[in-house]
Chain A
Amino acid sequence: MSQTTKTPPSAPAEASNRVTLGWSNRLLARPEVGALVAAIVIFIFFLIVAPAFRSPASFFTVLYQSSTIGIVAVAVGMLMIGGEFDLSAGVIVTTAGLVNAMFCYQLGINLIVGAVLSLVFSLVIGFLNGYLVVRTGIPSFLITLGTFFVLQGANLGVTKLVTGSVSTPNINQMQGYSTLDAIFASSFKIGTVTVEITVLWWFLFVALSAWILQRTRIGNWIYAVGGNADSARAVGVPVKAVKIGLFMTVSFLGWFVGMHTLYKFDTLQAGNGIGNEFLYIIAAVVGGTLLTGGFGNAIGVAIGAFIFGMTSLCIVYAGWDPNWFRAFLGVMLLLAVMVNLYVKRLSTARKVG
Chain B
Amino acid sequence: MTDTLAEHADPELSSGEPLIEMKDVGKTYGAIRALKGINLTVRAGEVTCVLGDNGAGKSTLIKIMAGLHPHNEGTMKVDGKEVSFSSPRESLDHGIATVYQDLAVVSLMEVWRNFFLGSELTSGKGPFATLRIADMKRIADEELRKMGVVVKDINQPIGTLSGGQRQCVAIARAVYFGARVLILDEPTAALGVKQSGVVLKYTAAARDAGLGVVFITHNPHHAYLVGNHFVILKLGQAVLDKKRADVGLDELTRQMAGGDELTELSHELQK
A/B touching: CB–CB < 8 A: yes
Closest to B146 in A: A8
Closest to B198 in A: A9
Stretch of B125-133, B215-223, B251-259, B261-269 with 4 or more beta carbons under 8 angstroms from chain A = B125-133
- Given known A8-B2, A218-B128, A237-B117, contact A223–B208 (CB-CB < 8 A): no
Tell me whether A11 and B198 are in contact (CB under 8 A). yes
Tell me whether A236 and B88 are in contact (CB under 8 A). yes
- Given known A14-B165, A223-B108, A228-B105, contact A5–B157 (CB-CB < 8 A): no
Q: CB-CB < 8 A to B118: which residues of A?
A: 221, 224, 232, 235-237
CA distance A5 to B159 in the complex (A): 29
Report the minimal beta-carbon distance from A75 to chain B, rounded to whole angstroms: 16
Tell me whether A223 and B89 are in contact (CB under 8 A). no
Q: Does B239 contact A (CB under 8 A)?
A: no
Report the minimal beta-carbon distance from A303 to chain B, rounded to whole angstroms: 20
| Residue from A5, A216, A227 within 8 A of B128 (CB atoms) | A216
- Chain A residues 273-313 with CB under 8 Å of chain B are 290, 294-295
Tell me whether A5 and B152 are in contact (CB under 8 A). no
Q: Mark A203-247, 1 if CB is under 8 A from B, else 0.
A: 000000000100111111101100110111111111000000000
Tell me whether B157 and A348 are in contact (CB under 8 A). yes
Q: CB-CB < 8 A to A215: which residues of B?
A: 130-131, 133
Closest to B147 in A: A9
Tell me whether B160 and A348 are in contact (CB under 8 A). yes
| Residue from B46, B113, B201 within 8 A of A223 (CB atoms) | B113
Closest to B125 in A: A217
Q: CB-CB < 8 A to A348: which residues of B?
A: 107-108, 157, 159-160
Closest to B174 in A: A235
Tell me whether B92 and A217 are in contact (CB under 8 A). no
Tell me whether B148 and A224 are in contact (CB under 8 A). no
Tell me whether A9 and B109 are in contact (CB under 8 A). no
Q: Does A161 contact B (CB under 8 A)?
A: no
Report the minimal beta-carbon distance from B127 to chain A, rounded to whole angstroms: 4
Tell me whether B103 and A227 are in contact (CB under 8 A). no
- Chain A residues 7-61 with CB under 8 Å of chain B are 7-12, 14-15, 18, 20-21, 29
Q: CB-CB < 8 A to B92: which residues of A?
A: 235-236
Closest to B89 in A: A236
Q: CB-CB < 8 A to A216: which residues of B?
A: 122, 127-131
Q: Mark B62-94, 1 if CB is under 8 A from A, else 0.
A: 000010100000000000000000001100100
CA distance A176 to B241 in the complex (A): 76
Q: Does A323 contact B (CB under 8 A)?
A: no
- Given known A215-B131, A220-B113, contact A9–B88 (CB-CB < 8 A): no
Q: CB-CB < 8 A to A11: which residues of B?
A: 148-150, 165, 168, 198
CA distance A234 to B89 in the complex (A): 8
Closest to A20 in B: B152
Tell me whether B106 and A228 are in contact (CB under 8 A). yes
Report the minimal beta-carbon distance from B18 to chain A, rounded to whole angstroms: 16
- Chain B residues 121-170 with CB under 8 Å of chain A are 122, 127-131, 133, 147-153, 156-157, 159-162, 164-165, 168
Interface size of A as a range: 35 or more
Q: CB-CB < 8 A to A224: which residues of B?
A: 106, 109, 113, 117-118
B-side interface residues, number (CB < 8 Å)? 59
Q: CB-CB < 8 A to A352: which residues of B?
A: 162
| Residue from A8, A9, A20 within 8 A of B153 (CB atoms) | A20
Tell me whether A2 and B244 are in contact (CB under 8 A). yes
Closest to A7 in B: B201
- Given known A9-B168, A220-B131, A227-B107, contact A15–B150 (CB-CB < 8 A): yes
Q: CB-CB < 8 A to B208: which residues of A?
A: 4-6
CA distance A28 to B205 in the complex (A): 39
Q: Does B202 contact A (CB under 8 A)?
A: yes
Q: CB-CB < 8 A to A218: which residues of B?
A: 127-128
Tell me whether B107 and A228 are in contact (CB under 8 A). yes
Tell me whether B152 and A234 are in contact (CB under 8 A). no
Q: CB-CB < 8 A to B133: which residues of A?
A: 215
CA distance A349 to B117 in the complex (A): 22
- Chain B residues 151-203 with CB under 8 Å of chain A are 151-153, 156-157, 159-162, 164-165, 168, 173, 198, 201-202
Max chain B C-beta neighbours (<10 A), residue from A14, A215, A290: A14
Tell me whether B106 and A9 are in contact (CB under 8 A). no
Tell me whether A350 and B148 are in contact (CB under 8 A). no
Tell me whether B128 and A232 are in contact (CB under 8 A). no
Max chain B C-beta neighbours (<10 A), residue from A5, A218, A238, A295: A5
Q: Does B238 contact A (CB under 8 A)?
A: no
CA distance A158 to B42 in the complex (A): 62
Q: CB-CB < 8 A to A20: which residues of B?
A: 152-153
29 residue pairs bridging A and B, Cβ less than 8 Å apart: A1-B15, A1-B45, A3-B204, A6-B208, A8-B2, A9-B201, A10-B148, A11-B198, A14-B164, A18-B160, A20-B153, A21-B160, A29-B157, A216-B130, A216-B131, A217-B127, A220-B109, A220-B113, A220-B131, A223-B108, A224-B117, A234-B98, A234-B100, A236-B119, A294-B106, A347-B157, A349-B159, A349-B160, A350-B162
Extra contacts besides A224-B106, A235-B117 (6): CB < 8 Å: A5-B201, A11-B198, A220-B109, A231-B106, A235-B119, A351-B160
